[in-house]
Amino acid sequence: MVIKWQKDTIPYFGDIMYTTAQCGRCTFKFADTIILSSKDPVCYSLPIRTEADLAARVIRSTSGTILIDEIGVMVEPGPISESYVTNAEGVLQRVRGVVESTVRWSEADGDFEKVDIALDLLRKIDAVIDNPETAPAALTLQIKDPLGNSAIISANAVSRGLTAEESENLKTGMIILNAEKDEIVYDISDEAGPIGKND
């Protein structure tokens, strides 16, 4: 397996590392972008009330959890979570795409109660995207990031630090070893060695 990495700096994210891995024998490939910095745990909130709010820059790192409480949306980071830079409308469009998929799956399963709920969510999202000032209900976009690498860039966004308890209850999307919390065992016995072909 050939593993390559390269360090870079990206606006809003800071220092990052691109990594790729490719096996010369099989078709396995892997690529990732790792954020090398971490900051204080943070929560950003933006009520979407104007066109300017829809255009607000949103930086979501691999450790950011997106919440829109008014419609019950929570997007948590997973093991292959991706970071991205978009705007508030772009986040709503991503959520909209997932809800549309739910409509199709629920229709195929004959679960029309879920279809009705999903269609109601689509109406609320579309009303805000079309004109947030006349939408029947405002939506508030939140990003909570225990590593502090996510942000909403807008004069109308409010940021606050997360408590230790809030941070501990958030997923990070990656494996993090905390030497103070995790018990790390080192095998230095004579049996320890490289993994062989038959292992």
The residue segments making up the domain with residue 13 are: 1-37
Residue 26 falls within a domain, yes or no?
yes
Closest CA to 71 of 149, 10, 140: 140
Q: In Å, what is the CA distance from 69 to each residue of 49, 95, 120, 141? A: 15, 13, 15, 8
Same domain, 45 and 31: no
The verdict on 163 and 89 lying in the same domain is yes
Tell me the average pLDDT across 111-136.
95
One domain for residues 135 and 185:
yes
Q: Are 71 and 121 in contact (CB under 8 A)?
A: yes
What order do you get walking across the sheet with 29-35 strand by strand? 2-10, 14-22, 29-35
pTM value is: 0.76
Classify residue 30: in a domain, yes or no: yes
95 and 110 share one domain:
yes
Domain count, the chain: 2
Tokens standing for residue 63: 């450790």
- E strand or H helix at 15: strand 14-22
Beta bridge partners of 143: 44, 66
Per-residue burial over 117-154, b = 16 or more CB atoms within 10 Å of its CB, e = otherwise = bbeebbebbebbbeebeebeeebebbbbbbbbbbbbeb
pLDDT reported for residue 178? 53
Q: Are residues 66 and 103 in the same domain?
A: yes
Using one digit for the tens of pLDDT, what is the confidence trace for 63-95? 899 999 999 999 999 877 888 889 999 999 999
Tell me whether residue 43 is in a domain. yes
> Angle at Cα 32 formed by Cα 163 and Cα 14, nearest 5°?
55
| Residue 64 CB coordination number (10 Å) | 30
Q: Is residue 199 part of a domain?
A: no
Q: Is residue 12 part of a domain?
A: yes
Is the same domain home to 66 and 140? yes
Looking at the predicted structure, is the pLDDT value of residue 157 above 80? Answer: yes
Average pLDDT in the chain? 86
